[in-house]
Structure 1
Amino acid sequence: MRQGIEYAVARGSKVLTAVNTFAQAGNIVLWQKAIDEVAVSNAHAIILADLGMLDYAANKHPDLRLHLSVQAAAANADMINYYVDEFGVKRVVLPRV
């Protein structure tokens, strides 16, 4: 992944990596490893939907830029502000509802 990101960045692109599926109950290690990989990959941001994974990313990788996936369904200002205040989310992809 890191090589692909370096290739894209060298050509002027920003890379946002989506790990926006919901972690399987009792088996979150795969999702945590994916977040860890993105954190060391030099991607510009990670897009997440899962509340637990947002918490993990915010605490384990505080310098990782977090974006909220449309799948999180943050459809109003109160929910958006919650994600910003709680996890430091910088961008929100709004649902089309």
Structure 2
Amino acid sequence: MSLPSPLPEGWYASNERHAARLYNELQLELPPGHVLYGKPVEIVAHREGTDDVLCRHKQEPGRFTVIHLSWAMKEEVNPEHPWVEDDGDYESFLRYEASFLNR
């Protein structure tokens, strides 16, 4: 499934192999109580040079969540981690990214 518009600069569509690797790490890190715990998502993109990934919710295809992976390779103990950078529609993601670039 394609994204609603081109990705912002620095973001890249994740190919199937890379998306599977990122998804597996996300699943390892998610503790009970996390906003994505038990939610069917797919990794659609990643930001170059960071541990940020863009997830699309399978049951809500218009909803996207930017997660900052910790690469702990185990379940986090705090339900706020891995950190949610943004959660909303694609326009919310684009606004978040614009504010990120202006930091």
- TM-score, length-normalised on structure 1? 0.29
Which structure carries more strand by proportion?
2
- TM-score, length-normalised on structure 2? 0.28
Computing the radius of gyration from Cα coordinates, the structure with the larger value is 1
Which structure carries more helix by proportion?
1
